[in-house]
Amino acid sequence: MASKMQLKSVSRLPPGERSAEILTAARVVIAERGYEATSMLAIAQHAGVAEGTLYRFFKTKEELMLRVAEDWLQALLAEDLGLESIRGTWNRLRHLIWRVLHLMRTQPAVSRFVLIEMRPLPTYRSTSLFTLTRRFTADVRMVCAEAVKSGEFRNDVSPSLLRDMIFGCIEHQTWSFLRREGDFKIDEVADSIANVVFRGMAAEPVARDDRLERALERLEKAAAQMERASQRL
């Protein structure tokens, strides 16, 4: 059924660039419409290529989508600084939280895409996208684990749960923003989360209230004196 075709003259691009173009076009379309509503045709048209071209680079739609998310995330991750420069558990936690919130504020499209659309996919957990997202959360878990080890944190709650607590809270707080419906205050949220977790885990109460202690000591002392006194009698 071969048909006569007039190939449009699309200049041949250096390898990698075409694929990058497609990925970029896909980002745009996805940002506009979301995963489900994004068709291969739409991506192709946006990229100014034919549908078939997409399949030169990506075996299936899902693979393409996954790659979009990965590349997007990777790019953001690359901009990231390490934790080395920051001292103190609270500061570190606060920084990590703040960093993610900032990413969401500045990159709502990719965030929405990854968190809301890719994550529900049945295969998501076996994806390298999943692995990539773990890089964000792993830091938090590590900081908590270190705090536990050093005795700064109690050890009655697992670092994994703390991580889930932090990121679960972040997601909920940013939910409506990601859906273009609301907003959130980065610093306020970051402070709040860091505070609750830190105070909730701190081995030593941050502020002291030793009135009970002192009262007890006075009482014990008094009791001891009375006992001695009574023995002397």
| 168-176 long-range contacts, CB within 8 A, separation 24+ | 169/193, 170/97, 170/100, 170/101, 170/104, 171/115, 174/101, 174/104, 174/111
Please provide residue 153's backbone torsions phi and psi, each rounded to the nearest 5 degrees: -105, 150
- CB of residue 15 vs DNA: minimum separation in angstroms? 6
Of the candidates 127, 15, 18, 132, which has an alpha carbon nearest to the alpha carbon of residue 71? Answer: 132
Contact 66, 72 (CB under 8 A): no
Q: Which one-letter amino acid corresponds to residue 98?
A: W
Residue in the block written with tokens 């909920």: 172
How far apart CA 133 and CA 122 sit, in angstroms, is: 16
According to DSSP, the residues that pair with 153 across neighbouring strands are 202
Residue 157 is encoded by which pair of tokens?
A: 């709650």
Q: Judged by CB under 8 A, which stretch of 73-81, 82-90, 98-106, 167-175 contacts a second copy?
A: 167-175
Nearer of residues 15 and 82 to a second copy, judged by Cβ: 15
First-last CA distance in the chain? 119
Please tell me whether residue 81 binds a second copy under the rule CB under 8 A: no
Any contact of residue 41 with DNA (CB under 7 A)? yes
- Binding at 41: pick from a second copy, DNA, none (beta carbon under 5-8 Å per type): DNA
Q: Does 167 bind a second copy (CB under 8 A)?
A: yes
Does residue 56 interact with DNA by CB under 7 A? yes
CB of 96 to a second copy, least distance (A): 15
Report the nearest approach of a second copy to the CB of residue 129 (Å). Answer: 14
Is 16 a residue that touches a second copy (CB under 8 A)? no
CB atoms within 10 A of CB 47: 20
Q: Taking CB under 8 A as the rule, does residue 224 contact a second copy? A: yes
Does 123 sit near DNA (CB under 7 A)? no
Residues forming contacts to a second copy in the complex (CB under 8 A) are 1-2, 34, 37, 60, 116-117, 120, 122, 124-125, 154, 156-158, 161-173, 176, 179, 181, 189, 191-193, 195-202, 204-209, 211-212, 215-216, 218-233
Residues that bind DNA (CB under 7 A): 1-13, 15, 18, 37-42, 48-53, 55-56, 59-62
